[in-house]
A and B are shown apart, each in its own frame.
Chain A
Amino acid sequence: MSFSAAERASPLLRASGLVAGYGPLQVLWDVDLEIGNAECVILLGPNGAGKTTLLKALLGLVALWRGRIEFRGQRLEGQRTDQRVRQGIAYMSEVGVFPNLSIEENLKLGGYYLPRREVQRRAQELYVMFPDLVQRRGVLAGSLSGGQRKMLSLAKAFMSGPRLLVMDEPSAGLSPRYVKEVIATLRQLHGAGLAMLIAEQNLGFLELAGRACILEGGRIRFAGDRTALEQDDILRRSYFGLQETPDAGRD
């Protein structure tokens, strides 16, 4: 992936002072978030911390009360979800796929707004990355297992040729084996220059991330390098349990 000089200078996504909520309930309190080009940021935090709300606010599913979002130098606040997606943000929800449509139709929808030639080129790459999905293209997505569905929704997100892949709990409902497979696939995509924002509780995803943000009670409690997070005693205790090193016990 190549970047223009301006894109290299400024971050891919910069959100500042985000305030949002549902009805009278305020969920996000002045949240700042930056994602660089080809950077992977993991968003940690307990249930109810506002992770999903933050992602939804970025995608335009929750109205912002205040704050600004810039993506590749463009302001996003006034745009509809589909317009934001067309700027290069792919969102992988927990649902992820259309169960009553076939694998092939799901993939086509992934590349819905791309020119046909680009879709064909991407379909070729997909063949290499997700061979078993492509082989079973006529099957309804609803008949796939949870893990296969997750891979399909990844493939679908990849079809749109995004600059930033936003994911809400990619590990949800997956067996440890599939979590590893998802992580391996994400590492491949990240290696190819795709920036990511992953909201997760599963610390296995931490190894992908260059940077981590911790959201608590709708406020950013920590933002910094992964290594800094791993060395911070208090955070380590609350997020990694009482382990000596965060790596122990994994794998």
Chain B
Amino acid sequence: MPRGGWYSVGVVLLFALLPFVYGNHALLFNMMMYLVLAQGINVLFGFTGYLPFGYVGFFGAGAYGASLAILLVHLPPVPALFVGAAVSVLVALLLAPLLRLSGAYFAIASLAASEVVYYIVSNPHLVSLTQGPYGISLAQVYNSGASYATMVVVLAMALAVVVYLRNSHMGLALQAIREEPISAGFAGINVVRERIRAWLLSAALAGLAGGTYAWHVSVFYPKSVFDLNISVFAIVFTLFGGVATLVGPIMGTLLLYGLYNWIGISQPEYFQLVFGIVIVLLVLFLPNGLVSLLRRVKIHVP
């Protein structure tokens, strides 16, 4: 078993079995969705250093791609998910020139790009294709059990990707690029190609998550799948746990999304306060996330 493999199996089994003993399936489903998105952010930011604020654009593109494949081409949901992922990858290919930017410029440009995708999808002139601002209804394929099971599989795929990157040549090359792109070139790494591969991989994960989400909720509006909060949550969860590791984003998502559900829904006014304090403390004292605490006491973090 590669390093981190057993953790992944444990997390996947947990989410596969919890529905039998815990009734709040919506919470479990959303948690898995954020686990996938956090790992997608991790693939891009943790392994290449690009922070995509517009990451939700891929999520929305996947949700719409899958939904339209179901509504217009009458595909069954599972193949439609792959269409959704393909749409996200296509969007990512179109946006690949953004990778020429760096730092805050990239973060903001990717945010703008996701807004562009949102405005295209919700444009009233495209009602015949995307139903514009009126949203999508997939009532005819609604199946909360099957879509939940699918999300478990998507989660397993996302974790497998990160386990692979943690243990492989490609992951090492990506980390070298994150550290020093020019020196990475000296190691014989094709910097542009590896970056684009990580970008597409990350987009595909968001697309799969988006498509599965669309199937699970079966009724949604463009605003709800292009909601900037989805990006922000996934980014904060990832950073809170610690990037470029497998367990960092898992810990971050379980703790913070758990916290969100514990106080965020009953007392949203306090939640904003607590969330803000947590983020400030994180930036000040743990810029490398929770996993850096574990590293400090010499625990190996997969």
Contacts and interface: CB of A to CB of B under 8 A. Distances in A.
Interface in B178-209: 179-180, 182-191
B179 A85 contact: no
A98 B176 contact: yes
B187 A80 contact: no
Given A80-B190, A82-B190, A109 B176 contact: yes
Contact of B187 (A59, A99, A100, A160): A160
Contacts of A228: none
Interface string A93-111: 1011011110001001110
B27 interface: no
A105 B176 CA distance: 9
A91 interface: yes
B17 to A, nearest CB: 36
Interface stretch (B53-61, B119-127, B167-175): B167-175
Given A109-B176, A112-B169, A61 B182 contact: yes
Contacts of A100: 175, 179
A80 B183 CA distance: 13
B192 to A, nearest CB: 8
B190 A109 contact: no
Nearest to B186: A91
B182 A109 contact: no
Contacts of A110: 187
Given A99-B179, A101-B175, A109 B187 contact: yes
Q: Size band of the B side of the interface?
A: 10 to 19
Contacts of B183: 93, 95-96, 98
A112 B180 contact: no
Q: Describe B's contact surface by its main secondary structure.
A: helix
B48 to A, nearest CB: 14
A221 to B, nearest CB: 28
Contacts of B190: 80, 82
Contact of B188 (A61, A93, A95, A160): A160
A95 B182 CA distance: 10
Contact of A85 (B169, B175, B186): B186
Contacts of B189: 82, 109, 112-113
Contacts of A160: 187-188
Q: Which of A96, A101, A156 has the largest number of chain B CB atoms within 10 A?
A: A101
A109 B172 contact: yes
A82 B179 contact: no
Contact of A112 (B179, B182, B187, B191): B187
Nearest to A60: B185
Contacts of B176: 98, 101, 109
A59 B187 CA distance: 12
A82 B185 contact: yes
B151 to A, nearest CB: 33
Given A109-B173, A112-B169, A112-B173, A86 B188 contact: yes
User: Which 7 A-B pairs give the minimum distances between C-beta atoms?
Assistant: A81-B185, A113-B188, A85-B188, A98-B179, A109-B187, A91-B186, A112-B187
